[in-house]
Amino acid sequence: MRDWSFSAGFRLAVVLALVVPFLFFFTRAPLTNFWPLMCTWLCAGVAALAWFGLKRASPMAAPGKHAAMCVLPAALLLASLLASAIGLLQYFGVTDVVSDWLHPSQPGVAMGQLRQRNQQASLLSLGLWALWWVVAQSTQGLGDQGAAERQGSRSMTTVGLGLLVAWALALLAVGSAATASRTGLAQWLVLCVLLYWWRATWGWVPLGLALVGLLLYGWAAWLLPELLWQWTGLRADGLFSRFGQAPGCTSRSKNWGQTPIQTEIGFKPWARL
């Protein structure tokens, strides 16, 4: 019992050490990446020490590939769920409630603690992949149980797991839509293709959830700007509007087409390296 408690404590320490770098918010000019990098290295050291402690606490069952396959998805899923909730708070401009702990953002922009919408969308995509991996492993585990166990505890386990998965999928889909990231949409489509490609191994349940999540993602991408307009009177660029001509100087094609940038490229500074 004592070994199990030590093992659980060390696993929790590894999970938290992997989650914190994604949620670290403290930055200072002029090197805005200094403290986030320091936090990341510190958490990497904590994770390594906790993993070593896990081996010492239970030498007969030293953590290996299976333990890593459980800890890493759990950390990514937890980090992505928290980041999605933070992004939604930023999107609707209610970060003032906990402004000391969240990175400031203007309403209509969900960038999480990573301070960039594409990075936020990539983190949520990692969380989606971790969620679907957990679903695939859980369905395979339930399918391998005997008939006697299926009559009793399996029904309650399935219902509880289904509710948690539905809640997590909805939060990640809506949070991804709030980023209005075209990179995030491309990642969603790639994940769906991979799930279809690996359907023989992972089964059809993760693919079905991915398609449902994609529909929810598209619906939220249309609904969120309308809700923001009705609640705050502010207009935000939605995912679909960003595929058109962006206003002002926010379009990459317009920025790259400017004469000063073309002139600088013409100097070929890389040739001097």
pLDDT tens digits for 168-191? Answer: 999 999 999 999 999 999 999 999
Q: Is 92 helix (H, G, I), strand (E, B) or coil?
A: coil
Average pLDDT over residues 133-148: 66
Per-residue CA distances from 256 to 183, 240, 252, 260, 266 (Å): 19, 22, 6, 9, 13
- Indicate whether 251 pLDDT > 90: no
Considering the chain, what is the average pLDDT of its residues? 80
200-233 pLDDT, tens digit each: 888 888 899 999 999 999 999 999 999 999 888 8
Q: What is the pLDDT, as a whole number, of residue 65?
A: 57
d(C-alpha 171, C-alpha 81), whole Å: 7
- Highest averaged pLDDT of the listed ranges 17-31, 221-235, 253-267: 221-235
Q: What is the pLDDT, as a whole number, of residue 148?
A: 44
Q: What is the pLDDT, as a whole number, of residue 192?
A: 92
Specify the range with the lowest mean pLDDT, choosing from 11-15, 68-72, 140-144, 240-244.
140-144
The residue with greater pLDDT, 273 or 162, is 162
94-105 pLDDT, tens digit each: 877 666 778 888
- Highest averaged pLDDT of the listed ranges 47-56, 68-77, 86-95, 152-161: 86-95
Average pLDDT over residues 9-34: 83
- Indicate whether 62 pLDDT > 90: no
- Highest averaged pLDDT of the listed ranges 46-50, 119-123, 252-256: 119-123
- State pTM to two decimals: 0.81
- Indicate whether 2 pLDDT > 50: no
* pLDDT over 90, % of the chain: 34
